[in-house]
Structure 1
Amino acid sequence: MDLVPAPRDIRPGSVDGGPFVLGFDTRVAADAASGTSARWLRSVLGTATGLPLEPATPGAEGAITLQVAERLTALGPEAYELVADASGVLIEGGGPAGVFWGAQTLRQLLGPDAFRRAPLCEGPWTVPPVRIADAPRFAWRGMMLDVARHFMPKDGVLRYVDLLAAHKLNVLHLHLTDDQGWRIEIGRYPRLTEVGSWRARSRIGLEESPLWDERPHGGYYTQDDLREIVAYAGERHITVVPEIDIPGHSQAAIAAYPELGNTDVVETAALTPWDDWGISLNVLNVSETTLAFYENVLTEVLEIFPSEFVHIGGDECAKEQWRASPAVQRRIRELGLADEAEMQSWFIHHFDRWLADRGRRLVGWDEILEGGVAPGAVVSSWQGYAGGIAAARAGHDVVMCPQEHVYLDWRQADGLHEPIPIAHVRTLEDVYRFEPVPDSLSRTEAAHVIGVQANVWTETMDSARAVDYMVFPRLSAFAEVAWRPLPPSFERDFADFERRMAAAHYARLDALGVEYRPPSGPRPWQRRPGVRGRPNEGPPPVR
């Protein structure tokens, strides 16, 4: 029935009574645990259909009924069953999240116009007779959104929460800090946003591009903005995981508070948030004062984000300044460490313990494996599969996000019209065929792969339209990888996925206002002629 992601089991119901037809007398019934999902469903379907969809109590005839079912709890809190026939629609979940995902499926069954914000016709609005039993493969089904390189205003983030929910993705990883910008208000340190949240200009393109956007670029989220995002996502059963990047990718913070940098080798007072892309050599020093500074930052972060997981980056920390710094070298000797790699590992271990003491878990990019991974850390495996394999074999949980498969800033085709081409080509089919769990892992090791994530780095995405183009429709393919188990044949049916996209899902994206890349290639206004990227020639990496 052209659902994306496709459910595990879908069977036509009895056609004797015909479809269920929504009308002015249709009501939505829910138990106490499903009230939030019922309010969401009444809101979106009421807006799209113009029907009142009044609330009702469970057991009402001819209603759409949402409820948690104890018999499904063994399948997990996100499992659901949906049964529709002429007498009504019943959605049952293993928990409130399962009920919500079932409601998302119902919205898809009603057709693309159910995704619009005003009714285009008077109906009829029908649900075909059907029985669906469904549950996700992975507990962590995420997208990382880089709002540090190019800031996305709050309304844009909320829109992406809805787009994730429509695809049954349940983690929004917000990359809030980097060399080019600091995007989270910290009450104790106001200069982080006063100074660190904007840069004087931005390079257009990558590498040696001579083009510059001379306009200042910036923005940040107040703590109330972020609480709103967290609450909005929570109502849609999406966890927001914040990332505060340390000890590298920290030039914006150092520009705001120069004492955080390596002042014995660099005149940090002259630094500003970086206006270029790449890896800045300006990294944090390793003093107790700097550790205390970030403990204070994270204390405020934890007050905003209830997520069990807190991402601290840990990637691409340049070591040149540490090697040249007498203070850092003295610190390495005092701690009995072998080198700068162990210094970075010690830094990460410190915050792993600090977070664990507060009931949270540290997540870091796979560089946190260098010098020894912290005991409770979760590894985001981005440099291929190797980091994830090593972490899983060592008993650490892993989120698989290898760049050669799920970095959505990578170009989508070889054509000359692709905007600012980056790295190797990763087509819709390439993303659809991504398999997160390597064959080399044993069953016990594979159980440590707790999820998958697509990463959206925004150096070249300077508008919501640019983000849409790079993310969609590939995120739709990724969502099915994250949700649906690998078939017994070990081969996903891309032709069927492509058919479902053409039959209905592109129309859903159209209704949602998503400016995706069309299958035929970019539209004229989606191109960026004359802007250099960083394409890689030759064959792409293999699994």
Structure 2
Amino acid sequence: MMKKVILLMCVLIASIGSNAQSKSTAFNAQNLQVKWDVLQNNYNGKPQFKSVLSFTNTDKQAMPANGWKVYFNFARQIVPESVEGPVKIEHLNGDFFCMSPNPNFHGLSTNATMRVAFVAGAWVVNFTDAPEGFYYVADNAPDVTVSIKNISQVPSTKPEQLQRTPADKVDVVTPQYVYKQNDQIQNIPESELSGIFPTPVNYKKGGQPFVLTAHTQVIADAAFTNESAYLKQQMANLFIGAAVHSKLTARQNISLQKKVGLGQEEYELQVNANHITIAASTGAGIFYGIQSLKSLLPAKAWQGKMQSIPIRAVIVKDKPRFGYRGLMLDVARNFQPKSQILKVIDLMSMYKLNTLHMHLNDDEGWRLEIPSLPELTSVGSKRGHTLTNTDHLQPSYGSGPDVNNNYGSGNYSKADFVEILRYANIRHITIIPEIESPGHARAAIKSMDARYKRLMKAGQQAEAERYLLHDLQDQSVYSSVQHWSDNVMDVAIPSTYNFLETLVDEIVNMYREAGAPLKTIHFGGDEVPAGVWAKSPSVQKLLAGSSDVKTTDDLWYYYFKKINQLLKSRNLYVSGWEEAGLRKVMVNGVKKQVPNTDFAQANFHLYVWNNVLGWGAEDLAYQLANAGYPVILSCVSNLYFDLSYQKNFYEPGQYWGGYVDVDKPFKFIPYNYLKNITENSMGVPVPASAWAKKEKLTETGKAHIVGIQGQLWSEEAKGVDRMEYLLLPKMLGLAERAWAKDPDWATELDSAKANTLYNTAWSTFCNTLGKKELVKLSYMHQGFQYRIPTAGVVIENGTVKANVQFPGMTIRYTTNQAEPIISSTMYTGPLTQKGTYKFRVFDDAGRGGRVVTVTN
């Protein structure tokens, strides 16, 4: 018996030793290196490209010949049969792909490299186009993921890599190109710039300045208690550690006075040596007067180190051009924390934007807690490795396998959202919540599927089906613009409206608790793909029993009619993207979308983004406004802040709608935006005659332009720094166009005169940003990570010249191959030394932009 025990122990010990050795010698996928290289756009003369992924094994053990998968995200659709290499690549859903070995793969030994080439649709230009979020999963351990961190991109430099198609005329932005752009910008002394931004209606300089100190008192009319408290807090921030006295006095004070007869957001501001007066009829007017007072402060006052601050004497009468001045922030694709939302609200308030449109859900995430529907956040707000999407959603945009990632997962609790609403309300910013529907709704659909399964398991069928968002028997086949096959709510089933009604009521209650105004809820309404609902039994039943709904196209109007009834019964109106106000009709045998007169008088507010040149809807905003719809101009050509600043491999952002640099929002002409669309998204010049047959904005239509809004979609806004980089300084151009009156250059009919006027205004704007506004933003809220421009550099006759987009910023350079730092030599004039120069622009706080290199 003892011998058997000893023998058994020996076998067990040997087994343990064998397993330990196996574990210690197992392949570690963390030691894979992945490199992406673009080979050619317009591959085989088609709108597609070829690229290659190289996998190098730096681990001590060979990568197994089989039994593994590598998952990743990629925004382009890979052609499966084009894959070259011993693997197959399968599209799962959205931007999610799976790579696995085929029988020709025999493992990857140490230091060996496997090349996987493939063809995919469309084109690629910059580094943010690259596949991302790679992670490894062994078949025998499907719940164990290994993130692959060593991922790089080979910079594209050749025309065939950077030119999308032969029609692509957009220049790659070089130092020489930037120099030419900057050459028209004049250096204007700060003393000659307006003290207030955005530009006020009437501005007159006075005499001696007012000296602000920590002891300056604020006297306020009883109606402006909130604004008085806000101003005192702002002053306290300027004088760290010094209390603001509340004792009243007749001199050396700031007075907030009520004055009847001024408009809703109108104000008057007077500053002299002894007194500052802000007058308005409303709290909003007083608040904007306070923002103008803050604008008058020297930029470096925001460092909080000054004991006294001189404020120039002025007389100002001011009011906004548009009542709606908005920013749309997408927190669904990639999440932004509450602290960042509060920071953005402060930024908006400083530049007199008054509406934050929060895109709270999409296919990739649901971000607002709804207590009665907990799965929306317990499932829909999290992304991580999954093939079932039952506990959380799949990775998107490189968010990776871990549900605790920084930007793929996250949500606002009810308490968070109420706090955000209160914070915005104090700053006279209205928050419009968006429930994206019926498309772009995958996060909601999967969350309600999880709820259904939970309750069915508990035997509660009726309750389980109460909020389902799709017909379980639906066999419809479709693919959305972002390649989702299951992201559209079924608008024929009652449970969809149960869901939406519950959402609306809970959101209304949050606003009521916060004491914040709610007049509308944005219901999305864009990009529902063809094929949706075609094989839904619920839809077929509805079609068979309705005289109004005859085709699946009619479901669009059926849906928004019910949404209108839902909101109207709660004293709210409908907001949506432009498609909510369009109807599909046959024109000469071709299906087209035209304004739907059914909703034109129903107070549907439409946010019109589509003016992409060549798509045929360039004048759509004006068509809808002329038809009677209240329109918020949200045009992709000038107001999509997620679009890349310029064409360069190292410049992040998308570019499907063109490139949007700082000048695009600034030059936007709301009532005639076709005038400044001079080229299409491929950079092909467009003559003014191209707009001859497009619909012009009528005087009646002009009255229906409610305002303008910038959009920051978040596919590339991964983290707060990238978000701020994409947002700023573009947002400042939006602020100017939304608040200030139409500039002279926008209405001048003589093109030569208009161009001269524009160049003068552009120089003023660039100087204002470089010497005032961006300096402030370097210090406020611990600094905003705005984009610092690259230096413009040319070599002429052996002389190196450099310039910068924003006068006031500093250019520094090196000649020893090292990257310039804040202590490097400052550029002050032309250079003649031979060799290689590296130039870099620095802001007032010492933060540097991207380095450019030239050789003399």
Residue 293 of structure 1, CA deviation? 1.6
Q: What is the match of residue 177 of structure 1? A: 361
1:98 aligns with 2:285: yes
Equivalence map 1:133-532=2 (5 Å): 133-200=317-384, 213-216=400-403, 217-258=408-449, 259-265=468-474, 277=482, 281-286=486-491, 287-305=493-511, 306-336=517-547, 337-371=549-583, 372=596, 374=599, 375-384=602-611, 386-423=619-656, 424-438=658-672, 440-490=696-746, 493-512=761-780, 513-520=783-790
Distance 1:114 1:360, change over 3 A: farther
Q: What is the match of residue 64 of structure 1? A: 254
Whether the 8 Å CA contact 2:333–2:364 is kept in 1: the answer is: yes
For residues 121 and 25 of structure 1, what CA distance do their matches in structure 2 show? 13
Whether the 8 Å CA contact 1:204–1:213 is kept in 2: the answer is: yes
Q: Deviation string for 1:2-43 (max 9, x for gaps)?
A: 432111111111x2xx21112344211111122211111111
Q: What is the match of residue 120 of structure 1? A: 305
| Residue 53 (structure 1) aligned to one of 244, 247, 252 | 244
Secondary structure at the residue paired with 2:505? Answer: helix
For residues 201 and 440 of structure 2, what CA distance do their matches in structure 1 show? 41
Q: What is the match of residue 229 of structure 2? A: 39
Residue 161 of structure 1, CA deviation? 0.5
| Residue 202 (structure 2) aligned to one of 5, 9, 14 | 9
Whether the 8 Å CA contact 1:142–1:173 is kept in 2: the answer is: yes
Coordinate RMSD, CA, aligned: 2.4
Residue 266 of structure 1, CA deviation? 5.2
For residues 550 and 645 of structure 2, what CA distance do their matches in structure 1 show? 43
For residues 115 and 437 of structure 1, what CA distance do their matches in structure 2 show? 36
For residues 626 and 261 of structure 2, what CA distance do their matches in structure 1 show? 34
Whether the 8 Å CA contact 1:280–1:318 is kept in 2: the answer is: no
Distance 1:428 1:42, change over 3 A: same
Secondary structure at the residue paired with 2:277? Answer: strand
Secondary structure at the residue paired with 1:243? Answer: strand
Aligned AA (1:239): T
Residue 66 of structure 1, CA deviation? 1.2
For residues 335 and 103 of structure 1, what CA distance do their matches in structure 2 show? 57
Residue 133 of structure 1, CA deviation? 1.0
Tell me which moved more, 433-442 or 500-509: 433-442
Aligned AA (1:301): I
For residues 462 and 411 of structure 1, what CA distance do their matches in structure 2 show? 14
Q: Deviation string for 1:316-350 (max 9, x for gaps)?
A: 12242311223213213323323222202210111
For residues 160 and 68 of structure 1, what CA distance do their matches in structure 2 show? 29
Q: What is the match of residue 82 of structure 1? A: 269
Q: Deviation string for 1:239-288 (max 9, x for gaps)?
A: 000001111111111111123123213599xxxxx9x9565542111211
For residues 297 and 7 of structure 1, what CA distance do their matches in structure 2 show? 41
For residues 32 and 212 of structure 1, what CA distance do their matches in structure 2 show? 50
Whether the 8 Å CA contact 1:185–1:221 is kept in 2: the answer is: yes
For residues 399 and 296 of structure 2, what CA distance do their matches in structure 1 show? 46
Distance 1:310 1:98, change over 3 A: same
Aligned AA (1:19): P
Residue 502 of structure 1, CA deviation? 1.4
Aligned AA (1:265): D
For residues 191 and 198 of structure 1, what CA distance do their matches in structure 2 show? 10
Secondary structure at the residue paired with 1:353? Answer: helix
Residue 203 of structure 1, CA deviation? 6.3
Residue 139 of structure 1, CA deviation? 0.5
Q: Deviation string for 1:88-136 (max 9, x for gaps)?
A: 10011231101101101111211223434xx2232x3111111111110
Aligned AA (1:444): T
Aligned AA (1:218): S
TM-score, structure 2 as length reference: 0.57
Distance 1:339 1:511, change over 3 A: same
The structure richer in helix per residue is: 1
Whether the 8 Å CA contact 2:384–2:395 is kept in 1: the answer is: no
Secondary structure at the residue paired with 2:532? Answer: helix
Whether the 8 Å CA contact 2:364–2:396 is kept in 1: the answer is: no
For residues 485 and 278 of structure 1, what CA distance do their matches in structure 2 show? 42
Q: What is the match of residue 536 of structure 1? A: none
For residues 369 and 255 of structure 1, what CA distance do their matches in structure 2 show? 28
Aligned AA (1:364): G
Residue 496 of structure 1, CA deviation? 1.0
Secondary structure at the residue paired with 1:10? Answer: strand
Residue 453 of structure 1, CA deviation? 0.4
Aligned AA (1:478): L
For residues 143 and 212 of structure 1, what CA distance do their matches in structure 2 show? 25
For residues 316 and 252 of structure 2, what CA distance do their matches in structure 1 show? 19
Whether the 8 Å CA contact 1:308–1:360 is kept in 2: the answer is: yes
For residues 86 and 444 of structure 1, what CA distance do their matches in structure 2 show? 46
Aligned AA (2:365): G
For residues 476 and 563 of structure 2, what CA distance do their matches in structure 1 show? 27
For residues 427 and 226 of structure 2, what CA distance do their matches in structure 1 show? 8
TM-score, structure 1 as length reference: 0.88
Q: Unaligned stretches of 5+ in structure 2?
A: 1-193, 386-393, 450-467, 512-516, 584-595, 612-617, 674-695, 747-753, 792-839, 842-846, 851-856
For residues 484 and 219 of structure 2, what CA distance do their matches in structure 1 show? 53
For residues 581 and 654 of structure 2, what CA distance do their matches in structure 1 show? 30
Larger RCO, structure (CA 8 Å, separation 6 or more): 1
For residues 317 and 327 of structure 1, what CA distance do their matches in structure 2 show? 18
Larger Rg: 2
Q: What is the match of residue 538 of structure 1? A: none
Q: What is the match of residue 532 of structure 1? A: none
Q: Unaligned stretches of 5+ in structure 1?
A: 206-210, 269-273, 528-543
